[in-house]
Amino acid sequence: MILPMPNIKSAKKRDEINARNNKKNTELKSKVRTLIKACLVAATSKDEKAIDEKLAKAYQAIDKASKGSTFHKNKAARLKSRLVQRIRVLKSEAVK
């Protein structure tokens, strides 16, 4: 499907802004997913210090994404809550 190119200056600018925001949002979401996966991998190990460091970085990235318009504040809270729950489960399985 071919989209028509905008003829009006403000529409062209809006397209540029949308492209820039899309790129930024995609990068932030990818970073958050990567850090969450790193937390879960660290949780399978018994290194508490590594888990805490990874969790802090993940929290920081999630908060940064929710500060803008990448994530809604409720989604950010849900992600952090679910991450901590999964880490607790993985820690308890690693102890057994």
Q: How far apart are CA 56 and CA 35, in angstroms?
A: 10
SS3 48: helix
CA dihedral defined by 76, 80, 82, 87, rounded to 10 degrees?
160
Residue 49 token pair: 């210090």
Total residue count of the chain as it appears in this document: 96
In tens digits, the chain (96 residues) has pLDDT values of: 677 788 899 999 999 999 999 999 999 999 999 999 999 999 988 788 999 999 999 999 999 999 988 999 999 999 999 999 999 998 888 766
Q: How far apart are CA 1 and CA 70, in angstroms?
A: 27
Q: Tell me, what's the pLDDT at 33?
A: 97
Q: Tell me, what's the pLDDT at 6?
A: 87
SS3 5: coil
Q: How far apart are CA 80 and CA 36, in angstroms?
A: 9
Q: Tell me, what's the pLDDT at 96?
A: 66
Token pair 């930024």: residue: 24
